[in-house]
Amino acid sequence: MALARRFPGALAMALARPFPGALAMALRAGGRGARLGSEPRDAGDSPRHRDLREALRKIIDKEINPFVDKWEEEGQFPAHKVFKILGQAGFLGVDKPTEYGGMGLDFSYNIAVAEELGNIRCGGIPMAIGVQAGMATPALTRFGSHELKKQFLIPTIAGDFVACLGISEPGAGSDVANTKACVCLSHDSGINDLLRTKVHDIKTTAVRKGDEYVINGAKMWITSGSQADWMCLLANTSEGPPHRNKSLMCLPMNLPGIHVAKKIDKLGMRSSDTAQIFFEDVRVPCKNVIGEEGKGFTYQMLQFQEERLWGVATALTQMETIIQETIEYTRQRKVFGQPVLHNQSVHFRLAELATELELLRSLLHRAVALYVEGNDVTKFASMAKLKAGRLTREVTDSCLQFWGGMGFTSEVLVSRFYRYV
């Protein structure tokens, strides 16, 4: 009766089957990473999508995952080396024009890549790749001059340049409309940075003098900031209304007056270096402005839908892996003479989490399908981001409990992701 009240209909019947239970059997039958009802996905599951994911998975298994523990311990991964490998295979420009070295595919292929990047056994490297491929370059791709694209976009897609996005400052960063600052957009936690801090407190300025801008100020939480070759900079280039006084510009990181003060030591995302950067009378040519002066706010807001969907896709695979590894561990770990998995409360919780995961996946792929068709999916992208943020906390916290003492060590993946959220 209690089971029927909590899980109506077919789900209750499936969960009521004899142990090891319908969930464990379904996941075991599908192998590692299998999903309940593992049917083809509505957005992005064509043979070409699958081929793309398979090729990326080979790179992850050979060039990235064997070294993740070392990079996590060191607090930095070799971005130029990893990005060059990914760039040569085309994964840094999946939806970028072929004219500039991209694949010229639609956004659903970006999501396929993002989902596969979730198989990297840490969060910092997928986040840095997201900044490189989907946060520092969209405005440049859409609105930048041909000259700027040749100088910055082509080598970024090829993996020769590491890009960063400079937005946050100490106590400032997320309210793009009210920014009083000058430099732009970078973040340590991917798409969430703009939603975390207060841009109206930003003090960095870019003042036009002749055919140059002179930049002064400081940036905080800059992903890949210690290794970046250039920064996408959002600058207040006038004293006008907050929606019309900002400009995006490409800022080479080797210019005089740019000081990388320190690499920030973090609780999580350790393999992604995060820097604090100061600007002192940094001069950049006016031709480095992306698109029209004063349109920086508009350009930045246009890419938020893609950033949110990218982040959700990566998180999905990470959560899926954690649930699967927890099922496998609880099947092997015995308490009071039987596997932990054979306790109904454990089984029910894992079933709930797997169900929530699939519902989020459906929302993601619905949003992606609509977006590829040209629709505004701000609502769905925001919903998916909200749900993903909450579900990652639920999955990591709940699964960690089932690992017992092992969950308190740094040897298992669930404890690493528990620190992230």
Active-site positions? 307
User: Side-chain half-sphere of 16: how many Cα atoms within 13 Å?
Assistant: 13
- DSSP-derived pairing of the beta strands 230-236 and 163-166: parallel
3-state secondary structure of 206: strand
Tell me how far apart the alpha carbons of residues 66 and 192 are, in angstroms, rounded to a whole number. Answer: 28
Q: What is the SS3 assignment for 261? A: strand
Please list, in sequence order, all residues whose beta carbon lies within 8 angstroms of the beta carbon of residue 154, skipping any fewer than 6 positions away.
100, 101
Q: What is the secondary structure of 55-117 as a DSSP string?
A: HHHHHIIIIIGGGHHHHHHHT---HHHHHHHHHHTTTT-TTS-GGGT-----HHHHHHHHHHH
**Amino acid at residue number 161:** F
> Which secondary structure element, helix H or strand E, spans residue 130, and what is its range?
helix 124-130
Q: Please, is 277 exposed, middle or buried when counting C-beta atoms within 10 Å of its C-beta (0-12, 13-18, 19+)?
A: buried
Rounded Cα distance, 104 and 97, in Å = 5
Assign 394 to helix, strand or coil.
helix
CB 371 within 8 A of CB 305: yes
What residue has token string 């198989």?
119
186 within 8 A of 204, measured Cβ to Cβ: no
